[in-house]
Each structure stands twice: as C-alpha cells, then as structure tokens.
C-alpha cells in the first residue's frame, strides 16, 4: 500500500482503512493541544457493566469521567465519543498514572505521540512541527479499534504494513523523543500513535469490551463474591465497592468507616486501595464474624500495614457507638450501603438464613438510617472528609429526579445536619419502575 493511497483515505470514511473506527473524538483539537507542550494523555474508559447498567440510562455514561475528576483534581478532562474516551490536559503523567492505577472505571492510559488524518501525518511529532517523526517499532506495534474490540489479524497486518510504508516515506526526518507502541484508529480514517503508560484496576491490554457483562479482570476477579468465605445477598459487588472507595478519596493511609458493614465488602476494597485504619459497624453478630473471616481470607487489615476493627453497634445510635471512642472527627471517609428494607439472604458455609422488613416500614427505616448516617458523618469525618453512600427509593419515590431527591433529604434531615455536608455527586441507578437508588457523594 503506497503513500498516495494512505493519503487518499483521509477523506474516504468508507474505504478499507476508514472502516477501522476508534473513538478519540476531534483529533484536530488533540493536535492543537500538543503544540509546544508535553504530549496529552488519553484514557480509555470502561463501558457500562452488568452492575453499572442502571446508571444514567437517559444520559451519557459519565461515571468514569467523574471518578477520574476526583482522582485528578485540577486536570482538565475532555470526554469524547459518548464518554468512552477522555483527553487529559494539564495533567502530569506520573500523577495520571497513579490515578489510573486507583481507578476501577479507567481501562488504560496512553501518552499521545502523534495524530493525523493519514498515517504519514500521524507519524510526525505534533508538538514540535514537521522536524522529527515518532519512534515506532513496526514488529511490536499494537493496533486497537474501540468500535470493534476484536480486530482480525489480517486487518491489523494491513495497517501495520501501511505504517511501514509511511515510515519509509519519512526517512528524511530524524526520530524524535516521543515513542509509540500502539496505533489507535479514529472515526473518519484518523490515526493516533500513542504509548500505553497505565492500566486501571480492572483494565488490561487491548480494548474495553462493549457489552454490559459481569467483569472479572484485575482486582474484580480476586475480590469476586464467589471467592469469599462469607457473603450476603446485599453484599456490594466489587466494581461498585471500588468505585465508592475511589469517589471517597480512599488511598494509602486513609481512615475509613462503614456504619453498616455487613460482610465487609466496602471495607475490603478500601483496604485494597491502601487504607490504614478500617472500622466497621453492624447490628448482626453473624455479619461481623463473617466480615472478620473475609479480612483473614485476603490477609488485609493486618498490622503493621493496616488495622481493622469491627463493632457490634447500631447506626441509629451513632453517638453511642464504640467506633467513635476517641476518634471523633478523625475519619477521612465513610463508605456505606445502608439497609434497603428488603428481604436478605445470608450464606455462610452452606447454610442460609433469611431476614425481612415489613414493606410499610421500608420508607420509614430508610429515612431514619439516612438521618443517622448524616449525623454520624458530622461526628466522625475530619474537615474535607467524604461520605459516599447509596440512598434506596421504592414506589413513587423511585421516579424522583435530582431535585426531588434533594427535597426528600431536606424533608428527612434537620438543617444543621445538611449544612455541614456539601453534595458533590448524585447519580441515579434504576432497577425497575418501582425501585431505584442514588449514589451520593458528600463532603464535610
């Protein structure tokens, strides 16, 4: 394939190369941002999974971008292609790498070396002008197409051959400083050369899958519910548990409290992110014992790296909880999935036990627990600490929008509780016409 053919493809989306579609948005904007600066970073984001499918059904899938924004304060994030790709500007590469490694909804991170409407243009370093070319090893080059995760070998080989021809046409240009190990394909026959610099907690090589399946990549396989010695029907799936811990700002050395810890799923994921002090509360002795067995199974929460303390305590009486003895105002984060007022099955060692709440009491219980949780946050969180929890809504409440949920919180809680906590994020997850829950992130 000659250079002339490669250049002709820039205006022919239906051509052979043009059918390989990626999703990096407007490459002209990307090229402008590279001029005279360090190369921008591009994050490939995880699509909805089986456990995040109910979020933002009528809106763009923006939870991955919101998670990155919490991990990269100050960086300018520009989502592309319905939030499947995000361009990171004003972000230090090392800082972005650490953020990617802590993100459950970021698949992988790339540093862009060059981009253009044809392969030859993309191989010229955009930040320095037409004075040098991107360093590429054709023999080890990876080709990725986000629109089609499973690119055939023949299709990839055709593109690699095109890269070799384009390099031959650029022999007069010396190699520059920027290297690339991946060719990313964009809609409209655009091309981007980049170097993979980071992988998310559940990321990896290749392209994120496009179907809403249950994920087991990375930490999600290690912490899968089926691997644990103790589980409850309400135990949070690890993907959502890691997301809640990430949105709460949990990292190395963090002090984390779960006021309705159950089997300890949220605290396990916080421990995996490096939390140093983990405190759990629950009214069920069997759940407390099961949570302890889960921590022992994963060898987490053990000195000197971390400590875990599990208390038999009631969230409805937060001031009397032993979890706060000498520790008021010292927690960096509270992550919690409060009771929903629904039937619960507990499974441990092959035995099953059922508990339930009368339907008429469900809304009253949710209101009481929410009020107690906000009170606990004011008592326990340090300034700047975060509360991340799910607010379950049933019946007509399930149809509330964001303004309606805010009004509901105002009706349920005294002014002095709400005034001490600022709402940062609110995202609705719909399960059925009569049941939904809101993921809320609040800051002290």
The pLDDT tens digits for 273-284 are 999 999 999 999
Looking at residues 127-152, what average pLDDT do you find? Answer: 82
Residue among 301, 243, 244 nearest 268 (CA): 301
d(CA 269, CA 250): 10
Is a pLDDT exceeding 90 seen at residue 291? yes
Q: Cβ contacts of residue 87 below 8 Å, gap of 6+?
A: 24, 25, 29, 30, 33, 40, 41, 42, 43, 77, 78, 79, 80
HSE (side-chain half, CA atoms, 13 Å) at 159: 30
DSSP code at position 124: B
Distances (CA, A) of 326 to 39, 312, 323, 330: 48, 17, 9, 9
CB atoms within 10 A of CB 213: 13
Question: Which pTM was predicted?
Answer: 0.85
Averaged pLDDT score across all residues of the chain: 83
The per-residue pLDDT for 57 is 63
More confident residue, 59 or 281: 281
* Closest CA relative to residue 34, chosen from 144, 163, 152, 124: 124
Mean per-residue pLDDT, 369-380 = 91
Give the integer Cα–Cα distance in Å for 188 and 153.
21
Statement: residue 25 has pLDDT above 90: no
User: Is 133's pLDDT higher than 70?
Assistant: yes
What pLDDT is attached to residue 325? Answer: 81
* Separation between Cα atoms, residue 50 and residue 48, nearest integer Å: 7
User: What does the alpha-carbon distance between residue 404 and residue 397 come to, in Å, rounded to a whole number?
Assistant: 9
pLDDT mean over 334-343: 84
* Structure confidence at residue 130 (pLDDT): 63
pLDDT of residue 348: 41
3-state secondary structure of 104: coil
Q: Are 184 and 144 in contact (CB under 8 A)?
A: yes
What would you report as the CA-atom Rg of the chain, rounded to the nearest whole angstrom?
Answer: 25
Whether 15 has a pLDDT exceeding 80, the answer reads no
Give the Cα separation of 61 and 104 in Å (integer): 14
In angstroms, the Cα distances linking 330 to 93, 368, 444 are 32, 24, 12
**Is the Cα dihedral 108, 113, 115, 118 positive or negative?**
negative
Calculate mean pLDDT across residues 57-78: 88
Q: Give residue 347's pLDDT.
A: 37
pLDDT-above-90 percentage for the chain: 52
**By the 8 A CB rule, do 328 and 227 touch?**
no
Confidence of residue 344 (pLDDT cuts 50, 70, 90): very low
Pairing of strands 435-443, 422-432: antiparallel
Query: b/e string for 21-51 if b means 16 or more Cβ within 10 A?
Result: bbbbbebeebbebbeeeebbbbbbbbbbbeb
Q: Which of 334, 425, 327, 326 is nearest to 374 (CA)?
A: 334
Q: Inform me whether the pLDDT recorded for 327 exceeds 60.
A: yes
Q: Which residue has the higher pLDDT, 345 or 439?
A: 439
Give the residue, 325 or 140, on which the prediction is more confident.
140
Q: How far apart are CA 58 and CA 401, in angstroms?
A: 12
Distance between alpha carbon 192 and the CA centroid of its chain, in Å?
A: 24
Q: Which residue has the tokens 């340090």?
A: 382
Share of the chain above pLDDT 70, in %: 82
How far is it, in rounded angstroms, from Cα 272 to Cα 250? 10
The number of residues in the chain equals 444
């Amino acid at each position: 394939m000659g250079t002339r053919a490669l250049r002709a493809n820039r205006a022919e989306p239906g051509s052979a190369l043009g059918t390989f579609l990626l999703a990096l948005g407007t490459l002209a904007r990307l090229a402008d941002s590279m001029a005279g600066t360090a190369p921008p970073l591009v994050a490939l984001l995880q699509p909805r999974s089986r456990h995040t499918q109910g979020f933002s059904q009528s809106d763009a899938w923006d939870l991955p971008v919101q998670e990155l924004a919490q991990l990269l304060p100050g960086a300018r994030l520009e989502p592309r292609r319905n939030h499947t790709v995000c361009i990171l500007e004003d972000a230090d590469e090392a800082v972005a790498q650490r953020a990617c490694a802590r993100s459950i909804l970021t698949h992988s991170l790339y540093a862009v070396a060059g981009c253009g409407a044809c392969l030859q243009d993309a191989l010229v370093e955009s930040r320095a002008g037409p004075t040098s070319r991107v360093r590429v090893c054709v023999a080890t080059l990876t080709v990725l197409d986000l629109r089609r995760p499973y690119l055939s070998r023949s299709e990839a080989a055709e593109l690699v051959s095109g890269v070799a021809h384009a390099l031959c046409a650029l022999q007069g240009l010396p190699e520059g400083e920027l290297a690339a190990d991946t060719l990313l394909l964009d809609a409209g026959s655009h091309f981007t050369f980049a170097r993979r610099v980071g992988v998310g907690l559940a990321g990896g090589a290749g392209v994120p899958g496009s179907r809403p399946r249950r994920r087991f990549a990375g930490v999600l396989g290690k912490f899968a519910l089926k691997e644990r010695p103790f589980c409850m029907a309400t135990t949070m799936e690890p993907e959502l548990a890691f997301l809640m811990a990430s949105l709460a700002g949990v990292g190395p050395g963090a002090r984390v409290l779960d006021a309705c810890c159950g089997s300890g799923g949220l605290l396990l994921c916080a421990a995996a992110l490096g939390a140093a002090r983990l405190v759990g509360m629950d009214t069920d002795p069997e759940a407390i014992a099961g949570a302890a067995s889960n921590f022992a199974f994963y060898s987490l929460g053990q000195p000197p790296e971390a400590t875990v303390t599990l208390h038999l305590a009631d969230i409805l009486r937060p001031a009397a909880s032993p979890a706060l003895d000498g520790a008021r105002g010292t927690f960096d984060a509270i992550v919690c999935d409060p009771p929903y007022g629904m039937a619960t099955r507990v499974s441990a060692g092959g035995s099953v036990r059922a508990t339930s709440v009368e339907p008429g009491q469900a809304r009253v219980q949710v209101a009481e627990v929410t009020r107690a949780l906000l009170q606990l946050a004011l008592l326990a969180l340090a300034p700047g600490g975060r509360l991340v929890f799910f607010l379950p809504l049933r019946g007509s409440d399930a149809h509330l929008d964001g303004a309606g949920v805010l009004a509901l919180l105002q009706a349920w809680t005294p002014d002095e509780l709400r005034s001490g906590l600022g709402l940062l994020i609110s995202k609705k997850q719909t399960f059925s016409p009569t049941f939904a829950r809101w993921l809320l992130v609040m800051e002290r």
